[in-house]
């Protein structure tokens, strides 16, 4: 595809005296965020902090051309998310969009970006369709999706002898996708799904579902909720004895802020899986300490994903000298992706392949501070978490 002249960056012309020129083109990145639904905990202005940290760090090693960060909220309306993306791409010259939490909004923004040959880096959505039926040559997915999260949990827990499962499922889109992913993962690994109990998504009546889980006799209980609902379920599960008698209680979509907010007494021994934990290594600690100083909170995987995606994007823009979506994403897939000490590869369908870790929430008396929450149990390889794509699931050629 021929590049439209107004979108081509002639980077050599921006070296040296470029900052003093009034007409210097800039690389613009849009953070498209939402503080409702699953984004209530991990999206919002904290994603903007992660983006600006990435831009600041990139600026220290770039050739001097300016990078701008824009942001907007779409309030759980996919049509509004697409409207913002259209304005950014067609009027404001934005080169790439990050975050976009939720299921429908992420897919629709990704589809629209493909139509105008611009980049989307999905760092807030768990939608598996982003690298399957809705996959795009101009998009990448930096988060674990519902299939990867549930498979990693099942594989990790099987090592500890968990063979039978019972699922507690709010009746809403993301939780139902987690239920489907968990059922497939349990079958794939030779386990048994003893049952599922659904309950209203508004959190008004989940006690019976927890009672069914406790009475099921399952080795492991999979909670498909997140955010405030998960916090409420964990408190009731603790007081109702769900954590007793050797049962493993697992939360597929828990964030570190859910755990922090629910409190150590309610969450100790809970199992979670994630591709990021702030205290995992020197790289995660360095980023997280800076993030914490600016926000008063430790980052979670979406914030780390935004930082890593933007750095990789900007390195590729500088190397390829273009913001053309198709050409730029070929470059992004060609080079290894830095992810806080863990090797990362962007597959042809845009999926970031990295290892995940299974964690157990610590007992209160073993925590050294308010965010010292997780004890690593084991690492689950990318090969185990992200099996090869199903033939035909993504229409893009490899």
Q: What CATH number does residue 216 fall under? A: 3.40.50.2300
**Residue 396 located in a structural domain:** no
Do residues 27 and 152 both lie within one domain?
A: no
Yes or no: say if 193 and 220 are a contact pair by the CB < 8 Å rule.
no
**Residue 390 located in a structural domain:** no
Do residues 346 and 360 both lie within one domain?
A: no
Do residues 21 and 140 both lie within one domain?
A: yes
Q: Which tokens hold the place of 92?
A: 């404001």
Predicted local confidence at residue 137, as pLDDT: 97
**Residue 373 located in a structural domain:** yes
**Residue 393 located in a structural domain:** no
Do residues 302 and 166 both lie within one domain?
A: no
Do residues 15 and 68 both lie within one domain?
A: yes
Do residues 155 and 194 both lie within one domain?
A: yes
Predicted local confidence at residue 132, as pLDDT: 96
Could you tell me the residue range of the domain that residue 207 belongs to?
A: 147-274+355-385
Render the burial of 318-344: b for 16+ CB within 10 Å, e for the rest.
Answer: bebbbbbbbbbbebbbeeebebbebeb
Question: What's the pTM value of the predicted model, to 2 decimals?
Answer: 0.92
Do residues 128 and 243 both lie within one domain?
A: no
Count CB atoms within 10 A of the CB of residue 138.
23
Dist. CA 99–CA 310, nearest whole Å: 11
Dist. CA 71–CA 298, nearest whole Å: 21
First to last CA, the chain: 19
Predicted local confidence at residue 15, as pLDDT: 26
Dist. CA 7–CA 224, nearest whole Å: 43
Predicted local confidence at residue 398, as pLDDT: 67
Q: Which tokens hold the place of 392?
A: 């035909």
pLDDT tens track, the chain, 398 positions: 222 223 333 332 222 223 333 444 689 999 999 988 777 888 999 999 999 999 999 986 566 678 999 999 998 899 999 999 999 999 999 999 999 999 999 999 999 999 999 999 999 999 999 999 999 999 999 999 999 999 999 999 999 999 999 999 999 999 999 999 999 999 999 999 999 999 999 888 899 999 999 999 999 999 999 999 999 999 999 999 999 999 999 999 999 999 999 999 999 999 999 999 999 999 999 999 999 999 999 999 999 999 999 999 999 999 998 999 999 999 999 999 999 988 789 999 999 999 999 999 999 999 999 999 999 999 999 999 998 998 888 988 76
Do residues 43 and 19 both lie within one domain?
A: yes
**Residue 122 located in a structural domain:** yes
Predicted local confidence at residue 66, as pLDDT: 87
The set of residues, in sequence order, having a beta carbon less than 8 Å from that of 25 and lying 6+ positions away, is: 9, 14, 65, 93
Do residues 165 and 224 both lie within one domain?
A: yes
Do residues 263 and 303 both lie within one domain?
A: no
**Residue 196 located in a structural domain:** yes
Yes or no: say if 255 and 370 are a contact pair by the CB < 8 Å rule.
no
Q: Is 392 left (phi over 0), alpha (psi -120 to 50) or beta?
A: left
Q: Which tokens hold the place of 332?
A: 């992004």
Q: Which tokens hold the place of 81?
A: 């998310």
* Number of separate domains in the chain: 2
Q: Which tokens hold the place of 201?
A: 């998504």
Dist. CA 109–CA 86, nearest whole Å: 9
Q: Which tokens hold the place of 172?
A: 């809403």
Q: How many residues does the chain have?
A: 398
Do residues 26 and 126 both lie within one domain?
A: yes
**Residue 82 located in a structural domain:** yes
Phi and psi, residue 76, nearest 5°: 60, 25
Render the burial of 287-306: b for 16+ CB within 10 Å, e for the rest.
Answer: bbebbeeeeebbbbbbbbbb
Do residues 190 and 128 both lie within one domain?
A: no
Q: Which tokens hold the place of 272?
A: 């979670």
**Residue 394 located in a structural domain:** no
């Amino acid at each position: 595809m021929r590049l439209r002249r107004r979108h081509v960056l002639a980077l050599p012309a921006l070296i040296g005296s470029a900052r003093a020129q009034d007409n210097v083109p800039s690389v613009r990145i849009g953070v498209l965020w939402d503080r409702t639904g699953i984004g209530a905990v991990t999206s919002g202005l904290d994603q903007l902090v992660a983006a600006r940290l990435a831009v600041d760090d990139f600026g220290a090693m770039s050739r001097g051309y300016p990078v701008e960060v824009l942001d907007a909220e779409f309030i759980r309306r996919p049509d509004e998310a697409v409207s913002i993306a259209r304005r950014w791409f067609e009027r404001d010259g934005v080169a790439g969009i990050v975050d976009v939490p939720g299921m429908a909004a992420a897919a629709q923004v990704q589809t629209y970006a493909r139509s105008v040959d611009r980049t989307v880096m999905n760092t807030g959505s768990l939608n598996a369709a982003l690298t399957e039926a809705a996959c795009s040559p101009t998009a990448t997915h930096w988060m674990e999706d519902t299939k990867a999260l549930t498979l990693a949990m099942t594989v990790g827990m099987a090592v500890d002898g968990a063979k039978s499962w019972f699922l507690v499922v709010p009746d809403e889109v993301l939780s139902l996708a987690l239920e489907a992913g968990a059922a497939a993962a349990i079958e794939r690994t030779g386990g048994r799904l003893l049952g599922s109990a659904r309950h209203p998504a508004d959190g008004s009546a989940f006690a019976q579902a927890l009672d069914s889980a406790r009475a099921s006799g399952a080795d492991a209980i999979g909670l498909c909720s997140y955010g405030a609902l998960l916090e409420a379920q964990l408190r009731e599960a603790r007081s109702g004895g769900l954590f007793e008698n050797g049962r493993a209680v697992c939360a597929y979509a828990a964030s570190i802020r859910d755990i922090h907010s629910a409190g150590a007494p309610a969450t100790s021994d809970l199992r979670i899986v994630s591709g990021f934990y702030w205290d995992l290594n020197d790289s995660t600690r360095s980023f997280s300490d800076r993030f914490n100083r600016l926000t008063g909170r430790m980052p979670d995987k979406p914030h780390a994903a935004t930082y890593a995606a933007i750095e990789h994007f900007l390195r590729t823009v500088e190397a390829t000298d273009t913001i053309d979506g198709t050409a730029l994403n070929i470059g992004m897939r060609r080079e290894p992706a830095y992810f806080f000490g863990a090797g990362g590869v962007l597959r042809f369908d845009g999926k970031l392949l990295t290892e995940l870790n299974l964690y157990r929430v610590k007992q209160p008396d073993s925590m050294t501070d308010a965010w010292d929450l997780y004890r690593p149990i084991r690492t689950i390889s990318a090969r185990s978490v992200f099996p090869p794509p199903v033939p035909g699931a993504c229409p893009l050629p490899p």
